[in-house]
A = this chain, B = another copy of it.
Amino acid sequence: MTYELHYWPTIQGRGEFVRLALEQAGAPYVDVARKTGAKALMAGLRGGPRPAFAPPYLKDGDLVIGQTAAILFYLGPRLALAPQDEAGRLWTHQVQLTLADLVAEAHDTHHPVDVSKTYEEQTIEAGRRAAGFTADRIPKYFGWLETIITRGETGWLAGPRLTYADLSAFQVVEGLRYAFPRATGRALAATPALATLASEVARLPNIAAYLASDRRLAFNEDGIFRHYPELDGD
């Protein structure tokens, strides 16, 4: 069965967490909106008895699943990217949900007060929000991830093997490095196990091939992780 991923065709965004899992597993999938455009993407939100609230959503046959973390919870065991036991699967999901909170906070640095307006219409508020994000929030989340990796003693976040949570942690590190290179560099200097995990993920053969392909979109200022130098602190 070929999975259908439905997400904005011009940004990495939240869809990228799903793409990385599918790519690492070598699973057959179609990135639908990159073929058919965003109009069909939004139309797909309106039909059916269980419509997703927003992209991304995944179709697997008749099943439609929205919410990035829920998609990964579903795919994890199917792609051999989650532990087998219930406690391990819940833990992996919990890490993913916490990464999702970090992603939402990263988004709000450039849209702190009005999601319907551009960044340029809320730069002053963005500066204030980004100051706390870079000084306090990135270090706090990274410190939590570092603690988990260190205590686990395997180099990964959820047990002896790679899981989708590791792929997602890599993506968050990459995104924050793009958006806030100075603040993220400082935070990573204090969290070497997380930095190593991100490097290890980038070196996985399937991930390395994906990152070098034209399937991997570049970060840009339409996505979640945006590089506005004025938000990156001193």
Using a CB–CB cutoff of 8 Å, the interface residues on chain A facing chain B are: 49-53, 63, 65-67, 69-70, 73-74, 87, 90-91, 93-94, 97-98, 101, 104, 108, 112-116, 122, 125, 128-129, 131-132, 136-137, 141, 144, 147-148, 151-152
Contacts and interface: CB of A to CB of B under 8 A. Distances in A.
Q: Taking chain A's interface residues, is the majority helix, strand, or loop, or is none over half, making it mixed?
A: helix
B49 A67 contact: no
Contact of A108 (B101, B108, B141): B108
A137 to B, nearest CB: 8
Contacts of A115: 132, 137
Contacts of A147: 51
Contacts of A112: 112-113, 125, 129
A177 B35 CA distance: 43
User: What 5 pairs across the A-B complex have the smallest Cβ distances?
Assistant: A113-B128, A67-B97, A113-B129, A53-B98, A49-B151
Contacts of A97: 67, 69-70
Give the oligomeric copy count: 2
A94 B48 CA distance: 15
9 contacts: A65-B90, A67-B94, A67-B97, A70-B94, A112-B125, A112-B129, A113-B113, A114-B128, A125-B125
Contacts of A128: 113-114, 122, 125
Nearest to A91: B50
Contacts of A74: 90
A93 B70 contact: yes
A198 to B, nearest CB: 19
B148 A125 contact: no
Contacts of A151: 49
Contact of A152 (B49, B131, B148): B49
A123 to B, nearest CB: 12
Nearest to A45: B144
A148 B53 CA distance: 10
A155 to B, nearest CB: 14
Contacts of A91: 50
A79 to B, nearest CB: 16
B144 A51 contact: yes
Interface centre among A53, A65, A74, A128 (most CB of B within 10 A): A53
